[in-house]
Structure 1
């Protein structure tokens, strides 16, 4: 008898394989007093565990092929950096000596303190990096308790062809298991925009999240079928169902393979409308993937990585080097650099160097452009570095989370000050560098016409726009089902922004997850979007939809989507828009 379990499909694709149930055994940490004569021995035991953790990670990294995606090694390197950071290798030592407590307890206390910092972060992407803290701390705990390395970290091929069943997965888990050949994963928790699910899409791993208590229904090594688009997992499928999904799997692989033919084609609808396809990037290593996908430039270059896991902000020369590498790597294609989108609690060293206190609701607090303007010296350092990098290629500057005209004018004033400084120093830069604002909160969308008079372009950040419009935390399992790009309020705000751009002859792009989802491509085209920016792995599929769309043949009732109060009605209208005749 076939059992069907329904979750949230977060990464497309069909997978057929056997279950591997992953249990993350949380350590049972208890405090006990260390005799005074044994304190240094306990410190040595802790430092030995740190060193063993480093060796484990280096061994894993050494087994990763040189041609693997940059994502695969970047998480390992992040964890190695954390092991070298004083927050993990020094503060617990101080606790052992001061409190005379055991190493496990000192590590757990510091883990709790670090997790509290991450939990207060307003950016969901960065907030999920708390998983990295747990991953590293649990590794040290396992070593302290003489436990073996976990199955998914042993590169012996035992996971090849398996479907991972877990309570949840960290990004590091995901890349390690992808390297070992897993074909899909299913978790009890998670949302469509968590870091792990975004990574699954970039790595091409079919994935389902949100099947509550899934490990109760599945036995280890049991045959499973996973449909990452519909969110359906099948157990005990009969022969006919098995054959049907095998055929769909072959069809899907052929479809993915066929996308390569679009790489060299111009991005243009059947009726001749040219569309610009850009890529999002956050690390210099992303440039190789972006170039391979055939992007026409970078529509969003995140700069937060330069500020994280360090005690002081990056100096101008360090930033210049990073930005110059990116712009030169893009061979004169445009690169839109977003100024740092940090919060008071997730800047450098957790924000402590800025003497800022933890606030009740950091998502509504001092973050992004607000923090930039609150720390003008740090902001000017970045602006100078971006301006100087513009001498080496086409760069645009984008300000995040603009909500008032005063913020925009202040930011532009600081930019002009930076230009004057460079002029006095006789340093070259692009004197006509384009300036843009992100539309990611309802206030900025409603006032898009006002902003459009003072910028060269606008960029819609749908991840935050949807979250703020619907008042939901998109990585909170209890409410993420409300995260709906088709909500009429969201669509109306997008339409208002596009209309403002058209009225004032200002380009409007979209750089959120919605831009890279082919289900919404035709709807966005019908609404007037001409500039899409997305993860590079989504480019060819979106390009296929664009090149196979005739704008003049889209249903006349397309714009009724903005009035569809019932989600089922919205889904039906979307199916009409995505029908084969358009």
Structure 2
């Protein structure tokens, strides 16, 4: 590689060396040229095919490797569904095949592959040798201008005009700002080490500095001591101190790489492993490890690196492949207006932190093969509508003006809603409606004072379980629940017992959760799982009872299907209550038991359940998907059912009517109650208690004050008795006629 031989000559020598070292009859190098993979050098194939054989990215085994940026290792190449035979190469007699991508700046710019006459899988050590060699080749290829840099980076004509990016809503909200990439690229200028021991010492020093930074960030987190965010960072620190990770980097240095190249080499291997992980929770933890690898690489290279460290100078929309929670905490919150991630998921640690920071986040925004870098440059203007799961890059003037008006209206409305904080939500006819809020983190409770909500109608206790690396101990649960009750003051908090399983998987309960459920939402989750994990339910019950000592405790059981399930769950609490009394411990003055009605079967035995209850909450998200047999996580079905369908409205009206004459309060908790038109319908069928996202409290209080219940009840009764084609249209028109603004 250090010789003065021209680039083609070096490649010709490389394929000979590799083929001989691995005892492979064939070794070939393909490079990306003008959008096609071109055979540049070969040992064993027909030499006349060099610079003649070309294939598209995604075509054949070589094209598949480049397309997916992944390694293939096949004992029988022809058995692979993507195999294609090229007669000009003369490769028909070869059976085994292994190939690795040649990666430059995170994109495949070529492929290095070997073939053998006899069918055999290549050993792991051989594959790792190929991957290391491919890394060295990538620098040669880039420095020799064998591939076009613009093409390698995936840049295209899209840079000149407006572009719309779509993705997945991770944290709702509107934002506008200038694009800034979280991680400017670290340029690895030297791949091969001159002094291996010196490189090892550089890595050791970088590890020490990185761990010091992470410890500092954990201590500076501004979310309160002992909160879930601290648990997130503790899990993150586990990776920083992982000996296996540092050992793999040391092994890469032993192979002759510099510290930077060794870190990048291990990082590439991690990325390839991530592509093979089906478990979304484990994949999210692997993203945390990649975040740390990026940090380590910047430290060892002496590059300041992140946009956070360079400082944000104006309102910014941050762009990243993925973010770890610690990296998000480094940003100036006055300047950071939104985040766009190429990856990301609803269960990622960074989403929990971003929601607490109030920063809108758009995820899964990978724009084609080139990623976001093929569409967005540093400094481009971006209009982010995370609520609608989209963003506009370099908007045309009319689009920017329209967004600006919408953004301004949103700010004005928020200011108007904030003025209603201390106003009680009475209807025009004088009926008091309870408007409560949903929460899941200790810091969410601050929204009680900001919004003027009547209390917390749903506190999701599973958040603590989802962000923990191990099952939260009783002492940690007790501290959280006590802190939440202290922060809420005299306002009630309804604690829903842990709802994990299904799409809310946790690795430490993997054996209890049927991870391969065809219908996880209807599988082994929530109360079903908790009742079989006796220790889990007992620990949570005792924690809640001790936390509420001397005050009232409201506890609610999720996904109750039959009366005996409620009885069994209540019995766990009653036994723990008796235990605490026997120990002369202080206990709650009162315990109010409630149930979530999400499973339609429970409606048929409601008369048997009501005498046992203090309150009942209708969980509209799950209830709707169960009634319609339509998975709400399936994009193809997202628009197939409507909360304002006659079927849903009639079913929910029956629930209200079933509670008449009892002392049981019935309410709605879920997204449905936070939407103005749907909330209007719920008032019309008899609901007087809504528990909704904090951001919706102001808008719903404002709506309530415009409604005459007798009017809307009469209208809903008429529509449900003699349904029109579209109840939504009827209700929208009714509201418009009365100057009641809807969503």
Q: TM-score range by the shorter chain?
A: 0.7 to 0.9
- In structure 2, relative to structure 1, the CA distance for the partners of 1:293 and 1:72 (3 Å cut) is farther
* Mapped partners of 1:395, 1:111: distance in 2: 49
Distance in 2 separating the partners of 1:267 and 1:80 = 40
Q: 1-side partners of 2:574 and 2:330: how far apart? A: 46
Distance 1:140 1:423 in 2: 52
Deviations 1:243-278 (A, max 9, x none): 555444433322211222211111211221111122
Where structure 2 has 5 or more consecutive residues not aligned to the other structure, the ranges are 1-159, 189-195, 256-261
Could you tell me whether the CA contact under 8 Å between 2:211 and 2:240 is conserved in 1?
A: no
Q: Secondary structure at the match of 2:549?
A: helix
Match of 1:576 in 2: 733
Is 2:290 aligned against 1:137?
yes
Change (3 A) 1:531 1:174: farther
Q: Partner residue of 1:523?
A: 681
8 Å CA contact 1:561, 1:573 repeated in 2:
no
Matched, 1:283 2:441: yes
SS in 1 for 2:438: strand
Report the counterpart of residue 619 of structure 2 in structure 1: 461
Cα pair 1:345 1:351 within 8 Å, conserved: no
Alignment CA distance shift 1:186-1:90 (3 Å): closer
- Superposed, 1:410-421 pairs within 5 Å as 410-421=568-579
The structure 1 residue matched to 2:312, chosen from 142, 152, 157, is: 157
Superposed, 1:20-419 pairs within 5 Å as 20=180, 51-57=208-214, 70=223, 77-85=230-238, 89-90=242-243, 92=245, 105=266, 116=277, 118-119=279-280, 127=281, 130-131=283-284, 133-141=286-294, 143-144=296-297, 146=300, 151-154=306-309, 156-158=311-313, 160-164=314-318, 179=333, 181-184=335-338, 213=367, 215=372, 220-226=378-384, 242-243=400-401, 245-307=403-465, 309-311=468-470, 313-315=472-474, 317-343=475-501, 350-351=508-509, 356=512, 359-361=515-517, 362-419=520-577
Counterpart residue number, 2:15: none
RMSD between aligned alpha carbons? 5.0
Return closer, same or farther for 1:108/1:555 CA change in 2, 3 Å cut-off.
Answer: farther
Distance, in Å, in 1 between the alignment partners of 2:426 and 2:583 is 45
Tell whether the 8 Å contact from 1:189 to 1:477 is kept in structure 2 after alignment. no
TM-score normalized with structure 2 length: 0.61
Give the Cα–Cα distance (whole angstroms) in 1 for the partners of residues 505 and 167 of structure 2.
33
Most deviating of 250-259 and 9-18:
9-18
Q: CA deviation at 1:396?
A: 0.9
Q: Distance in 2 between matches of 1:170 and 1:357?
A: 27
Distance apart, 1:140 and its partner CA = 1.9
Check whether the contact 2:231–2:468 (CA below 8 A) recurs between aligned residues: no
Which moved further from structure 2: 370-379 or 515-524? 515-524
CA shift in 2, pair 1:480/1:164, >3 Å: farther
The residue matched to 2:379 in structure 1 has which SS?
Answer: coil
CA distance in 2, matches of 1:111, 1:412: 47
Q: 2:207 & 2:213 partners in 1: Cα distance?
A: 10
Could you say which residue in structure 2 is the equivalent of 1:124?
none
1:117/1:345 contact within 8 Å kept = no
- Give the Cα separation in 2 of the matches to 1:193 and 1:571: 32
The CA distance in 1 between the partners of 2:734 and 2:183, in whole Å, is 43
In the alignment, structure 1 segments of 5+ residues that lack a partner are 29-37, 120-126
- Aligned-partner SS, 1:554: helix
Where does residue 31 of structure 1 map in the other structure?
none
8 Å CA contact 1:491–1:562 kept in 2: the answer is: no
TM-score, normalized by length of structure 1?
0.75
Q: Secondary structure at the match of 1:438?
A: strand
Distance, in Å, in 2 between the alignment partners of 1:2 and 1:564 is: 48
Cα shift at 1:206: 6.1
Cα shift at 1:463: 3.4
Residue in structure 2 matching 1:435, options 575, 587, 593: 593
Where relative contact order (Cα < 8 A, 6+ residues apart) is larger, the structure is: 1
How many residues were matched structurally?
556
Distance 1:84 1:19 in 2: 29
Q: Distance in 1 between matches of 2:388 and 2:183?
A: 26
Q: Post-superposition shift, 1:518?
A: 3.6
SS of the residue 2:437 aligns to: strand
Distance in 2 (alpha carbons) for counterparts of 1:239 and 1:255: 24
Greater shift in the superposed pair: 375-384 or 231-240: 231-240
Larger Rg: 2
Structure 2 Cα separation of the partners of residues 376 and 347 of structure 1 = 18
